[in-house]
């Protein structure tokens, strides 16, 4: 199972902009995560949907279960 970090931002026209980072360090502090989010907002013009402000962040654990589709 892998720990992922989901960052959610408020975008233009009330849209939510989110980014998922796989294999995140679940021990990262709120201060570290907020700093990362502030950097993304500061450099947001490189994204097609520009993050305007920080909304929320959360860690989640995902489990991969292969599906045989052959």
pLDDT band at 55 (very low <50, low <70, confident <90, very high): very high
Return the pLDDT at 2. 85
Query: For 30-65, b where at least 16 C-beta lie within 10 A, e where not — what string?
Result: eeebeebbeebbeebeeeeeebeebeebeeeeeeee
Q: Write the pLDDT tens digit of every residue in 8-51.
A: 999 888 889 999 999 999 899 999 999 999 999 998 777 777 88
How much is the pTM? Answer: 0.80
Sign of CA dihedral 21, 16, 9, 56: negative
In this structure, what are the phi and psi dihedrals at residue 17, rounded to the nearest 5 degrees? -120, 125
Residue 36 pLDDT: 93
Ordered by start, the domain boundaries in the chain are 2-62
């Amino acid at each position: 199972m892998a720990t992922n970090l989901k960052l959610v931002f408020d975008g233009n026209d009330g849209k939510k902009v989110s980014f998922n980072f796989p294999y995140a360090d679940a021990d990262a502090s709120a201060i570290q995560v907020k700093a990362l989010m502030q950097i993304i907002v500061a450099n947001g013009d490189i994204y097609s949907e520009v993050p305007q402000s920080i909304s929320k962040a959360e860690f989640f654990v995902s489990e991969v279960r292969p599906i045989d589709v052959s």
